[in-house]
Amino acid sequence: MLMHPSIKDVAELAGVSPATVSNVRTGNKYVRPELVKRVNNAIDQLGYVANPMASILRGNKSYNVGVILPTFYHPFHSSMLKGIQDVSFDSEYLINVYPTESDQKKERDALVRFLYAPPDGIIISSYATVDNEYGQACMNTMKAITHGKKKIPIISLERHIKISGVESILSDYEKSAYETVEYLIGLGHKKIAHISGPMNRDVSVRRFNGYKKALDNNGIEFDASIVRESMFTPSSGYLLALELADNWSNVEFSAVFAANDEIGIGAIKAFKENGIRIPQDIAVIGTDNIYAGTLINPSLSTVNVPAYKIGRMAMSKMLDFLSGAAVPNTDSPTYIDTTIIPRKSTEEDIESAWDIYDW
């Protein structure tokens, strides 16, 4: 094996031109299947890895994609990042990741960096809200990036951003929440509490709307006294569930719909500490399907939001944009299907197991 095989070495071994090797790698032009196979075999045999610097020197591309996420420590976002990374490894593009810690000022700062030192594309899970100066600055900067001289494409994850040049990938949060509450109603629950995420986030508002609509459509009166607003963390879920537990003797709700799994895990801990049995007294269901939910006792029922699939789809779409095969569609977001995964926190007799293979 050569120490540093070049694209010419791959071409020579495969019996094709360097341009054909490049087209196989980038997908910019059609290559006959038999040639694709020969090129890929030569790449594997030589251990060839594309040199982004050589590509940068040949043109005006940076061969970098900027990725802005709230965090990569959270299991949901780390799965999303792995999906992005796995697709990027098979391309000529590198990714630069900026974790914002859900801080809108840090998000604004990351976007400003990309405005003045532009990558070829940006993938972002934005926490920006328009009710403060930093959130508004984030939106304005995204518009400047997509409308500037380079017209850099942006893919938004988890929310629909209506800026030209931005394409969005998300799940239908309202529909998913509606189906989750209907699942609980189907189990016989008529008094269902909700611990939402921050209500300045679009995802939280849409999940709340789905929750309330499901109650309304099933003839169940909405009760604001059993709704709490959290911060998407186990600690906030724990503290708010303690509040609900203190009032449980007055308002005997029998189920809790938690806006994410971390809230649900905190809630289960709080209820158990108060002698409340799960699910015999109160059933709990979360959202996201993070692996930690399979490890607690009882295991947490959840809504599977396929974060890894979302990450892969985002990077694949970005490569299409960068190759010229497609352009961002702002008006029609891509919606990802979600599925309910029942476990023992809602159905005592159901079989469930540790999710040890997807860690």
Which CATH number is 198's domain given? Answer: 3.40.50.2300
- Domain hosting residue 296, numbered range: 173-304+340-358
User: What's the token pair of residue 62?
Assistant: 């940076």
Q: What is the pLDDT of residue 74?
A: 83
Domain CATH number, residue 19: 1.10.260.40
Q: Tell me: do 25 and 99 sit in the same domain.
A: no
Q: What is the pLDDT of residue 151?
A: 92
- Say whether the peptide bond before residue 298 is cis (omega within 30 degrees of 0): yes
**Interval 106-124 mean pLDDT:** 94
**Interval 280-309 mean pLDDT:** 94
Q: What is the pLDDT of residue 24?
A: 80
**265 or 29, which is more confident:** 265
- Across 286-306, b (16+ Cβ under 10 Å) vs e yields bbbbbeebbebebbbbbbebb
**Long-range pairs for 158-162: beta carbons < 8 A, 24 or more residues apart:** 158/125, 158/126, 158/203, 159/125, 159/126, 159/202, 159/203, 160/202, 160/333, 161/126, 162/330, 162/331
Q: What is the pLDDT of residue 50?
A: 67
pLDDT in tens, 316-327: 999 999 988 899
Q: Is residue 328 part of a domain?
A: yes
Q: What is the pLDDT of residue 31?
A: 84
Q: What is the pLDDT of residue 356?
A: 57
Q: Is residue 181 part of a domain?
A: yes
Q: Tell me: do 333 and 190 sit in the same domain.
A: no
Q: Is residue 88 part of a domain?
A: yes
Q: Is residue 117 part of a domain?
A: yes
Pick the closest to residue 88 from 69, 107, 63, 113 (CA basis). 63
Q: Is residue 2 part of a domain?
A: no
pLDDT in tens, 38-48: 988 888 887 77
**Interval 268-274 mean pLDDT:** 97
**33 or 328, which is more confident:** 328
Q: Tell me: do 219 and 73 sit in the same domain.
A: no
Q: What is the pLDDT of residue 70?
A: 92
**Interval 222-236 mean pLDDT:** 95
Q: What is the pLDDT of residue 243?
A: 95
What's CA 218's distance to the chain center, in Å?
Answer: 31
Q: Tell me: do 15 and 106 sit in the same domain.
A: no
**Interval 118-136 mean pLDDT:** 90
Q: What is the pLDDT of residue 342?
A: 96
pLDDT in tens, 35-74: 888 988 888 887 777 665 555 555 568 899 999 999 888 8
Q: Tell me: do 200 and 257 sit in the same domain.
A: yes
Confidence of residue 238 (pLDDT cuts 50, 70, 90): very high
Confidence of residue 266 (pLDDT cuts 50, 70, 90): very high
Q: What is the DSSP letter of 358?
A: G
Q: Tell me: do 160 and 184 sit in the same domain.
A: no
d(C-alpha 49, C-alpha 42), whole Å:
12
**Interval 293-300 mean pLDDT:** 93
Pick the closest to residue 299 from 347, 340, 338, 256 (CA basis). 347
Percentage, residues of the chain above pLDDT 90: 68
Strands 302-304 and 339-341 come out as antiparallel
Q: What is the pLDDT of residue 25?
A: 72
Q: Is residue 229 part of a domain?
A: yes
d(C-alpha 18, C-alpha 325), whole Å:
21
Pick the closest to residue 342 from 282, 302, 304, 305 (CA basis). 302
Q: How far is residue 136 from each of residues 67, 113, 127, 262, 352, measured CA to CA in Å?
A: 20, 16, 11, 28, 44
Q: Is residue 1 part of a domain?
A: no
**84 or 7, which is more confident:** 84
